[in-house]
Amino acid sequence: MKLKAGDRLVFIGDSVTDMGRKRENEAPSEGLFEPLGTGYPHVVSGLLNAVYPDVMVRITNVGISGNTVLDLKRRWQRDVLDLKPDWLSVMIGINDVWRQFDLPQMAEKHVLPDVYEATLRELVVKTLPTLSGGVVLMTPYYIEPRKDDPMRKRMDEYGAICRKIAADTGVIFVDLQAAFDRVLKYHNPNYITWDRVHPNIYGATVIAKAFLDAIGFDYTHQA
């Protein structure tokens, strides 16, 4: 596994990362009393501690519901650079796409592909030299099996941008849409999510597994 004892892992993103994390005044969430929320950071933390009790990793959740990549840029210094992580996981883009569909008349809330790519690339490039570990870049997704669905098609465009940035910068890439497509062969979206975006524990575990697979997590590890 790529994570080492003493590493700090920061998860940043939108509501799918946030998922009710405990915080005051948007402070980072970590520590006692289940602070990481009910989403994939919580599942990752549980599996890391259960399978790798010999590798203590400090996990911090700074996801904020409703965020776009532009929101991340505005708080990047406080919520990433100032925390001095060894590893950073970024999953952003759902709201960048969603606002184009649920608020089509409010163009100021839309983050179009060129802005999304330029901003996300800027954040990745300037952060990489500060990390002793690396960046895990996870795609946005839409839990909809029909690839011709307009919002699914748009989300796939943003996923392709993430893939391009990861290839250009050498960071770890995680295709969450592909991870969900695998389970959608067997289950209706309603089994995973109520709105095709916010996952239940099943969906959160799909994301967590994809993340852990990407960092070389070994489920048979013996401490």
- Please write the tens of the pLDDT for every residue from 182-208: 999 999 999 999 999 999 999 999 999
* Domain membership of residue 97 as a residue range: 8-214
Distance CA 158, CA 118 (A): 12
Residue 217 has pLDDT above 80, yes or no: yes
∠ CA 134-140-144, nearest 5°, is: 145
Active-site residue, selected from the candidate residues 18, 79, 110, 198: 198
Q: Is 109 helix (H, G, I), strand (E, B) or coil?
A: helix
Does a structural domain hold residue 219?
no
Exactly one of 7, 14, 15, 175 is catalytic; which is it?
15
CATH code where residue 150 lies: 3.40.50.1110
**Domain annotation covers residue 1:** no
Query: What is the tally of structural domains in the chain?
Result: 1
Active site residue 45: no
Q: Catalytic site residue 195?
A: yes
Residue 193 falls inside a structural domain? yes
Mean pLDDT over 32-54 rounds to 94
Residue type, position 95, single letter: N
pLDDT tens digits for 98-146? 999 999 999 999 999 999 999 999 999 999 999 999 999 999 999 999 9
Respond yes or no: is residue 15 known to be catalytic: yes
Q: Which of 102, 195, 213, 218 is catalytic?
A: 195
Q: How far apart are CA 46 and CA 30, in angstroms?
A: 13
